[in-house]
Amino acid sequence: MLDGVKRWIFFRKTFETIEEEKSFVKCVNGMKFEQLESYLKSKNIPYHLKTTRGGDRFFIPKGMYHTVENVNEGKGTIFANIIHEGFVQNLDERFREIWPIVSDNCDKGVFY
């Protein structure tokens, strides 16, 4: 991270089916930070909180669910992502199923 302050929630969840995962994503997508933390607690889903500042480096494993919010009031943060150009068939197929529009954009080199 180059500058600023961010708060993160990281968690893993295993799903029996892609439909179960889609339902979960639909439920939590767009939740505010505190809402998601409360939801994960209520469902006994283990999670990890992290606050990052300029100069911090860390690795997010492929397939790790996470949410992030800026802590800086009125300011953004500068963050450099490094995308691993590997293919993990199961993860890539799940991502395509759950986020088809985002996946199509990624195929076109659009990552925002």
Tally of domains within the chain: 1
Q: What is the pTM of this model?
A: 0.75
Let me know if residue 34 belongs to a domain.
Answer: yes
- Residue 37's Cβ-side half-sphere holds a number of Cα atoms within 13 Å equal to 11
Let me know if residue 108 belongs to a domain.
Answer: no
Tokens of 35: 């809402």
State the pLDDT at residue 9.
Answer: 95
Q: Cα 28 to chain center, whole Å?
A: 11
How many residues make up the chain in this entry?
A: 112
* Residue type at position 52: T
State the pLDDT at residue 80.
Answer: 61
What pLDDT tens digit does each residue of the chain (112 aa) get? 778 889 999 999 989 999 999 999 999 999 999 999 999 999 999 999 999 988 888 888 878 899 988 887 767 666 666 566 665 667 778 888 887 887 888 778 776 6
Range of the domain at 48: 5-82
Let me know if residue 71 belongs to a domain.
Answer: yes
